[in-house]
A and B are shown apart, each in its own frame.
Chain A
Amino acid sequence: MTGNTTSEPNLLARKRTYKRLMFGVLLGGVGLALLLREVLGYPLISEAVYWLGIVGFFAIGFGTSLTLFDERDRALERRASHLTLNIMAPVLATVASVGRLLPRLTDYALPAEIWPALYGVIAVYAVFGISYTVLRYQA
């Protein structure tokens, strides 16, 4: 039976620190990139900072020997993904249908910018379908 050790709370504190660092680097990088591009007018430097944030996020995650995310985190991710897909499906179906019917039945139409967004959502479901099929044959 494993007893208490003084290092165990420190281990959890270190994990917490690494997680905060990961998300701090990611959000800080993206935020700073936005500031550099939109406010200060440095688009190229902004892009470099943006990628530094993303690479830094994964570098910290993969670079540490600590397990930063456990099985419950992964279970929560799966449930959140499932919930997101279930919410977006009726939204996609409804908006697409309204978008098709509106110009035929009324003098109004959805803004043209909506359609690329809808195709983007359709692409997500296409990727989901492919992933599901691949995983099904692997399982």
Chain B
Amino acid sequence: MNNELRRHRERTDMSQADLAAAVDVSRQTINAIERERYDPSLELAFELAAHFDCRIEDLFDPEREANGGA
């Protein structure tokens, strides 16, 4: 799934490690989401959206072609 996670993260001047710790996942998970190699669960997607104070649709675009799982 296409996403804007990297843009949001860089806009808030956070590292992948900072974001990972903030939402309690590994840095590799944040990296995999940003590279669109892993689609997060609904729970994590909501958590990320809450973290950046935006809607899920602002972070993730379901219209684009999905890239699959982990």
* Contact partner, A70, options B15, B29, B53, Cβ 8 Å: B29
| Contact A1 to B12, CB < 8 A, known contacts A9-B21, A11-B21, A71-B41 | yes
Closest approach, in angstroms, between the C-beta of A14 and any C-beta of chain B?
10
Find chain B residues with CB under 8 A from A12 CB: 17, 20-21, 26-27
B 18-32 contacts with A by CB, 8 A: 18, 20-22, 24-29, 32
Task: Assess whether A67 is interfacial by the CB under 8 Å rule.
Answer: yes
Contact stretch, chosen from A72-80, A109-117, A121-129: A72-80
Task: Assess whether B38 is interfacial by the CB under 8 Å rule.
Answer: yes
Closest to B51 in A: A2
Task: Assess whether B66 is interfacial by the CB under 8 Å rule.
Answer: no
Find chain B residues with CB under 8 A from A107 CB: none
Contact (Cβ within 8 A) B18 A71: no
How many residues of B sit at the interface, in one of the four size bands? 20 to 34
Seen from chain B, the residues whose Cβ lies within 8 Å of a Cβ on chain A are 12-15, 17-18, 20-22, 24-29, 32, 38, 40-41, 43-44, 51-53, 69-70
How many residues of A sit at the interface, in one of the four size bands? 10 to 19
Find chain B residues with CB under 8 A from A1 CB: 12, 51-53
Task: Assess whether A15 is interfacial by the CB under 8 Å rule.
Answer: yes
Closest to A9 in B: B17
| Contact A79 to B25, CB < 8 A, known contacts A2-B51, A12-B20 | no
